Amino acid sequence: MLLRSLALAVCTGLGFPAFADITVTDILDRQVTIPEPAHRIVLGEGRHLAVLGLIHDDPVSLVAGWRLERALDEPTMAAYRAKFPAIDAIRTVGGGARSISAETVIALQPDLLVMSLMDANDPAMQRARDQIEAAGIPVVHVDFFSHPQENAIPSLWILGKLTGAETRAEEFAQFYQQRLDRVRTRLADPAISRPSVFFHVHAAPQGCCSTVGQGVFHDFIATAGGRNIADAATGVQANVSLEYLIGADPDFYIATGGTHMAARGGLVLGSGVGPDQARRTFGALIGAPGFNALSAVRDGRAAGVWHMFNDSPIHIALIEYLAKTFHPDLFADLDPAATLAEIEARFSPVAVDGTWWIDNRQ
């Protein structure tokens, strides 16, 4: 601290601009202060590199370490590696469920550790955080998953301010807010009916059915003008039987999928997934006994969406897709694919092909 104070005094005396301390209030209402924009970061979730990519042309250059419990998917990793080979030099600081090595983080000497809201509820993660902070390393909490509509843009602003990218963060925030306001404005009339919706997460014909309670996809359903039939569940995730689903017979059946579902015979969507594989796995899902009895399936009101929309501000495209699905006449002019394409062109440093949604409309 003495050396830093002397350096600042010298710079000021010579007429050079000195950095002022940067202070933010994070998602846990904790004040976090750093002396200058962070340029050596440890990410508590590896896939948040793509979030940094929304506000930095070279996010890899900012990251010294990451935890790989929630890593980038392989096609996205490959796209980043092709453009930024230095990605292979990022050190792993933990890989298991809710675990991080305080010793490894401290040894990397980062100027910031970024943790998630979910980490705050885990005693082991809190102990690690306390050790890391005791070593003089600032820790900030963000949230793109638990309450994405409430916290994603504030979290992006937090990262923007802490990394010297406030202008880019504000640009994305305006892009996001304009599209969100358009959806909300058109659905403001209380006379507009809200169809019942069942969201089948990590969807496979076997072991039905995991769904969403509060937060995450529930918020997207409500904003897009639907009514989540599992909204009475108190947690983020709930489970119901296939018999319950058939009895409820919702107006819309929406499944989430990803490449992680291939081994389980489930819905495969997302980065690197071609339309044929998406169509085949979606057909197998909605054609399975029980699912094929739903009126939503019979009448062309079933759809599948990429599960990983749930941990990035790009979920605005999913909100548009759901709004157009639930209220096709009201949102005939919406083009969620164009929204994704604009995000990729204007904000992302890499391009990744994939299939992000699919439906059975005739």
Query: Does the structural domain 194-359 have CATH classification 3.40.50.261?
Result: no
Q: DSSP letter at 90?
A: P
**Residue among 322, 24, 314, 26 at smallest CA distance from 172:** 314
Q: Among residues of the chain, what percentage have pLDDT more than 90? A: 82
Strands (E), the chain: 22-25, 31-34, 41-43, 63-67, 91-94, 112-116, 139-142, 196-200, 210-212, 227-228, 237-239, 252-257, 270-271, 302-306, 354-355, 357-359
* Cα 148 to Cα 85, 191, 218, distances in angstroms: 31, 27, 10
pLDDT band at 269 (very low <50, low <70, confident <90, very high): very high
Q: Closest Cα to residue 104, out of 36, 44, 50?
A: 44
Q: Average pLDDT of 178-196?
A: 97
3-class secondary-structure state, position 200: strand
Q: Which pLDDT does position 98 carry in this prediction? A: 63
Residue 322: pLDDT band with limits 50, 70, 90 = very high
Check residues 11 and 97 and name the one with the higher pLDDT. Answer: 97
Strand order in the sheet with 63-67: 91-94, 63-67, 41-43, 112-116, 139-142
Specify the amino acid at residue 131: Q
Question: What is the separation of C-alpha 352 from the centre of its chain, rounded to a whole number of angstroms?
Answer: 16
Residues 195-207 have pLDDT tens digits of: 999 999 999 999 8
The pLDDT value recorded for residue 6 is 38
Token digits of residue 192: 């507009």
Task: Determine how many CB atoms are found less than 10 A away from the CB of residue 286.
Answer: 22
For the chain, the distance separating the N- and C-terminal CA atoms, rounded to the nearest angstrom, is: 67
Q: Report pLDDT for 227.
A: 96
pLDDT digits (tens, 9 = 90+) for 125-165: 899 999 999 999 999 999 999 899 999 999 999 999 999 99
pLDDT digits (tens, 9 = 90+) for 139-150: 999 999 989 999
What is the pLDDT confidence band of residue 12, given thresholds at 50, 70 and 90? very low
* pLDDT for residue 93 is more than 60: yes
pLDDT of residue 94: 84
Q: Which CATH superfamily is domain 16-164 in?
A: Nitrogenase molybdenum iron protein domain (3.40.50.1980)
Residue 97: the pLDDT is 60
283-299 pLDDT, tens digit per residue, is 999 999 999 999 999 99
**Overall average pLDDT of the 330-359 stretch:** 97
**Average model confidence (pLDDT) across the chain:** 92
pLDDT higher than 50, residue 13: no
Give residue 71's pLDDT. 87
pLDDT at residue 3 greater than cutoff 70: no
Would you list the domain boundaries of the chain? Answer: 16-164, 194-359
Domains 16-164 and 194-359 in one fold? yes
Read off the pLDDT of each residue in 234-240 and give the average, rounded to a whole number. 75
pLDDT at 338 over 80: yes
pLDDT at 16 over 80: no
Arithmetic mean of pLDDT, 3-16: 42
Q: Is the per-residue pLDDT at 315 higher than 80? A: yes
pTM of the shown model = 0.91
Work out the average pLDDT over 91-98: 78
pLDDT band at 14 (very low <50, low <70, confident <90, very high): very low
- Does the N-terminal peptide bond of residue 209 adopt cis geometry, omega within 30 degrees of 0? yes
User: Given pLDDT bands bounded at 50, 70 and 90, which one contains residue 96?
Assistant: low
pLDDT over 90 (residue 310): no
